[in-house]
């Protein structure tokens, strides 16, 4: 399918994280996964107070520090040092997952290898290595009120990542609410996948070419707003 | 006789851990949360066929030395020296690179039971709290549900999960006293207080031993009743 891939500019990691952060509402409790999701901590819209949770037992941590400037006893789940902030608190791992499993998290953001049109998520078994790490992903996928996936729209080889049915081991079935990619924003609904936003220069037809299941184009589908 | 759980050395602290023991190891991803000196002592003892219960399977001391860790050993010291028969673990491998555990796994030299992190924490907590089992929704519709009892409660499907019982729990804390009361520092708390008391014997490696009464009773995280041995690292620690 590589001949069909539109050669247009895609959003970079920072911009994707910026778009993720626009989903955070004032007062939300949010867990950010490793990679692009973690970057979203630095893009909370002005005037909104967001409380970040990390699996390793912290609520209310501050921005990610510059490399080498942090305290190793103050890290997010990805091991990045973060800043101390007013209101933050620490707790044990069982408490941390009572927060996750008990429905106390408003939003969880993580990456994925594949998402199906029903919102099934596959993101722990590294496809080419046939090993994987479940970590906190299953608990988060089952427990968070809203699950946002942020990922590149296709693989490096140009294969679909938004698929009719996941080929990889599932992290959780029917759990994804919103998919933010380097070319589109797609909502998972009972009727199917609804294309809500496209990256600058992209059309809904371009996005459809890189998406296996049929997309429903939202009546007000627009260019991704970043500011 | 005053209660005194303080042990003089790491080797003495692990002296009765035998081949085939089930060992919980506290901490999370970064080495500063882990009982590094106890892991070194356990490795020196030369035990084999351990079943380990831990969040991760280690990145290796080289990674942590580069970050300036004074005590750089994580689970990798048991992995690379072939001391583990079976790992009950949540995050065994890294998406970024191939660790020693992954090499053993691919070579068929270690057994694995991968457990979702929250379920792992709760199975450990259940052992500590005397709970015979519990139901969680996590894992329904995935490989985790294989072989497990399912139950519908209030219209939602759940899996029965059982406690993980262990012989020893090796944990790391910031400060401890001779009763075994412990406090932690920042995000290095993680699995340490969860595992304290979940095994037959809990051994706490602390940055500093303080006099009884010095820890604020309002701030003690792990009550000493869960801890059997306390052993101090040889160093001064920065104030929190």
Please give the tally of structural domains in chain A: 1
A95 has catalytic annotation = no
- In chain A, DSSP finds a helix count (H) and a strand count (E) of 5, 15
pLDDT score for B238:
44
Query: Which residue of B58, B111, B118, B190 is the best one to mutate when testing the A interface, meaning the one whose CB has the most A CBs within 10 A?
Result: B118
What would the pLDDT profile of B21-62 be if each residue is shown by its tens digit? 999 999 998 999 999 999 999 999 999 999 999 999 999 999
Please write the tens of the pLDDT for every residue from B178-228: 999 999 999 999 999 999 999 999 999 999 999 999 999 999 999 999 999
Residue range(s) defining the domain that contains residue A124: 2-223
In this structure, what CATH number is given to the domain that contains residue A114?
3.40.1080.10
- Edge-to-edge, what's the strand order for the sheet holding A51-54? A89-90, A58-59, A51-54, A29-32, A107-110, A146-151, A178-181, A184-189, A192-198, A215-223
Residue A204, CA distances (Å) to A188, A198, B148, B193, B218 in order: 16, 7, 44, 51, 58
**Rounded to whole angstroms, how far apart are CA atoms B29 and B13?**
24
pLDDT of residue B31: 95
Give the pLDDT of residue B32. Answer: 95
Min Cα separation B108/chain A (Å):
12
Least confident of B95-99, B125-129, B233-237: B233-237
Name the A residues in 129-168 with CB < 8 Å from any B CB.
129, 131-139, 142-143
How far is A98 from A114, CA to CA, in rounded Å? 27
Is residue A171 within 8 angstroms of chain B, CB to CB?
A: yes
Say whether A225 sits in a helix, a strand or coil.
Answer: coil
Q: What is the pLDDT of residues A88-146, one digit of tens each?
A: 999 999 999 999 999 999 999 999 999 999 999 999 987 777 789 999 999 999 999 99
Q: Which fold has domain B10-232?
A: Glutaconate Coenzyme A-transferase (3.40.1080)
CB contact under 8 A, B184 and A132: no
Return the higher-pLDDT residue of A126 and B118. B118
**Confidence (pLDDT) at B237:** 46
Max Cα distance, chain A (Å) = 53
| Structure tokens given for B130 | 């005397």
Task: Give the per-residue pLDDT at A5.
Answer: 65
Low-confidence ranges of chain A (pLDDT < 50): 1-3
Which residue in A100, A90, A174, A183 sits closest to A144, CA to CA? A100
The band of B143, judged by pLDDT with boundaries at 50, 70 and 90, is: very high
In this predicted structure, what is the pLDDT of residue A4? Answer: 61
Catalytic residue among A55, A117, A197, A212: A55
**Strand, helix or coil for residue B38:** helix
Beta carbons within 10 angstroms of residue A31's beta carbon: 27
Q: Which of A79, A135, A169 sits opposite B143 (nearest CB)?
A: A169
pLDDT band at B132 (very low <50, low <70, confident <90, very high): very high
Residue of B nearest to A71 (CA): B186
pLDDT category, B18, cuts 50, 70, 90?
very high
Q: What is the mean pLDDT of residues B10-31?
A: 97
What's residue B200's pLDDT? 98
Between A79 and B5, name the one with better pLDDT.
B5
Report the C-alpha gap between B72 and B61 in whole angstroms.
5
Q: In this predicted structure, what is the pLDDT of residue B236?
A: 53
Q: How confident is the model at residue B240 (pLDDT cuts 50, 70, 90)?
A: very low
The answer, yes or no, to whether residue B68 has pLDDT greater than 90, is: no
Q: Cβ–Cβ of B94/A93 closer than 8 Å? A: no
- Does the beta carbon of A93 lie under 8 angstroms from any beta carbon of chain B? yes
- Write the pLDDT tens digit of every residue in B70-108: 999 999 999 999 999 999 999 999 888 899 999 999 999
């Amino acid at each position: 399918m590589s001949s069909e891939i539109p050669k247009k500019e895609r959003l970079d990691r920072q911009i994707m994280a910026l778009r993720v952060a626009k989903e955070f509402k004032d007062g939300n409790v949010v867990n950010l996964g490793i990679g692009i999701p973690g970057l979203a901590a630095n893009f909370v819209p002005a005037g909104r107070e967001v409380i970040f949770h990390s699996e390793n037992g912290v609520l209310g941590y501050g921005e990610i520090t510059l490399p080498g400037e942090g305290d190793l006893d103050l890290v997010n789940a990805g091991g990045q040092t973060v800043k101390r902030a007013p209101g933050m608190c620490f707790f044990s791992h069982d408490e941390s997952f009572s927060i996750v499993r008990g429905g106390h998290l408003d939003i969880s953001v993580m990456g994925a290898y594949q998402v199906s049109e029903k919102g099934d998520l596959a993101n722990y078994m590294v496809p080419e290595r046939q090993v994987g790490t479940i970590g906190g992903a299953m608990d988060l996928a089952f427990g968070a009120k809203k699950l946002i996936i942020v990922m590149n729209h296709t693989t490096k080889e140009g294969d679909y990542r938004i698929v009719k049915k996941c080929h990889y081991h599932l992290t959780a079935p029917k759990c994804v609410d919103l998919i933010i990619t380097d070319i589109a924003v797609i909502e998972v609904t009972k009727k199917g996948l609804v294309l809500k936003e496209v990256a600058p220069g992209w059309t809904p037809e371009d996005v459809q070419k890189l998406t296996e299941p049929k997309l429903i184009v939202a009546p007000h589908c627009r260019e991704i707003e970043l500011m | 006789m005053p209660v005194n759980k303080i042990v003089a050395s790491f080797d003495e602290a692990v002296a009765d851990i035998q081949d085939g023991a089930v060992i919980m190891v506290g901490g999370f991803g970064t080495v500063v949360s882990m009982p590094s000196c106890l892991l070194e002592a356990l490795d020196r003892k030369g035990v084999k066929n351990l079943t380990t219960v831990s969040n991760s399977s280690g990145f290796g001391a080289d990674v942590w030395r580069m970050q300036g860790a004074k005590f750089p050993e994580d689970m990798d010291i048991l992995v690379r020296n072939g001391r583990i028969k079976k790992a009950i673990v949540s995050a065994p491998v890294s998406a970024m690179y191939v660790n020693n555990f992954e090499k053993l796994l691919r070579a068929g030299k270690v057994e694995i039971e991968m457990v979702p992190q929250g379920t792992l924490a709760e199975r450990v907590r259940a052992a500590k709290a005397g709970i015979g089992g519990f139901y969680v929704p996590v894992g329904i519709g995935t490989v985790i549900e294989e072989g497990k009892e399912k139950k519908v409660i209030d219209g939602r499907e759940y899996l029965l999960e059982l406690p993980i019982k262990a012989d020893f729990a090796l944990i790391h804390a910031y400060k401890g006293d001779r009763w075994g009361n412990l406090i932690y520092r920042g995000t290095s708390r993680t699995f340490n207080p969860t595992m304290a008391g979940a095994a037959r014997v809990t051994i706490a490696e602390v940055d500093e031993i303080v006099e009884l009464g010095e820890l604020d009773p309002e701030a003690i995280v792990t009550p000493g009743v869960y801890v059997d041995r306390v052993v101090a690292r040889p160093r001064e620690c920065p104030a929190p």
